[in-house]
């Protein structure tokens, strides 16, 4: 018997490698998506760009996107002097949520606690918001204007309940509730 003991390595090294097949990768243009995701509307792209611009311009952090059309703006100052500007608001998807978002940004844009009393700061933040909407080409609807009037009436009434002695002249129109709210 002429049998030679071989190791496993001897058997593997003698084996001829299979010829490699050339695999051609398809070009991007050749790839076809069966069900493409619907593209965002042009308006939503504009709202997205507005959010990015406001965050960058005013160095804001969004703590939370609210599902309601309410908001809040504040800042935290650390011992080392670092200031963090924060807001909560609805994500802009239409004129009303855009106005509320910009109103909260407006508090930082005009400067928190720059205007006294607080109801005057609310007026200035709303003015800033509506001006920003118009400058960016967003529609200020009658519903938005009604919301602003109701908000300012509420702010003035709250200030008076808390003992405000002198109401700034700009806020006199908001002493009485808006006609549509009566």
Per-residue pLDDT of the chain (182 residues; tens, 9 = 90+): 555 667 766 766 666 666 666 666 666 555 555 555 566 569 999 999 999 999 999 999 999 999 999 999 999 999 999 999 999 999 999 999 999 999 999 999 999 999 999 999 999 999 999 999 999 999 999 999 999 999 999 999 999 999 999 999 999 999 998 876 54
Q: Residue 143 and residue 156: Cα distance in Å, rounded?
A: 20
pLDDT attached to residue 65: 98
Burial category of 107 from C-beta neighbours within 10 Å (exposed 0-12, middle 13-18, buried 19 and up): buried
Give Cα 123 distance to the centre of its chain.
22
Per residue in 43-68, is it b (16+ CB within 10 Å) or e — as a string?
eeebbeebbeebeeeeebebeeebee
DSSP tag of 105: H
127: phi then psi, degrees, rounded to nearest 5 = -60, -45
Angle between helices 142-161 and 118-135 (to 10 degrees): 170
DSSP tag of 131: H
């Amino acid at each position: 018997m002429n049998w030679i003991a071989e190791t496993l390595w001897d058997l593997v090294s003698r084996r001829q490698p299979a010829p490699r097949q050339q695999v051609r990768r398809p070009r991007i243009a050749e790839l076809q998506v069966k069900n493409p995701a619907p593209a965002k509307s042009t308006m939503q792209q504009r709202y997205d760009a507005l959010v990015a611009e406001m965050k960058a311009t005013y160095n804001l952090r969004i703590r939370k996107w609210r599902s309601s059309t309410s908001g809040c703006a504040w800042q935290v100052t650390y011992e080392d002097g670092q200031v963090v500007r924060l807001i909560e608001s609805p994500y802009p998807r239409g004129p009303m949520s855009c106005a509320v978002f910009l109103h909260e940004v407006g508090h930082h844009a005009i400067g928190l606690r720059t205007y006294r009393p607080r109801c005057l700061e609310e007026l200035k933040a709303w003015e800033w918001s509506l001006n920003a909407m118009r400058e960016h080409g967003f529609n200020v609807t009658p519903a938005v204007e009604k919301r602003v009037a109701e908000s300012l009436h509420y702010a003035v009434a709250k200030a008076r309940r808390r003992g405000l002695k002198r109401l700034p002249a700009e806020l006199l129109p908001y002493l009485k509730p808006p006609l549509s709210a009566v």
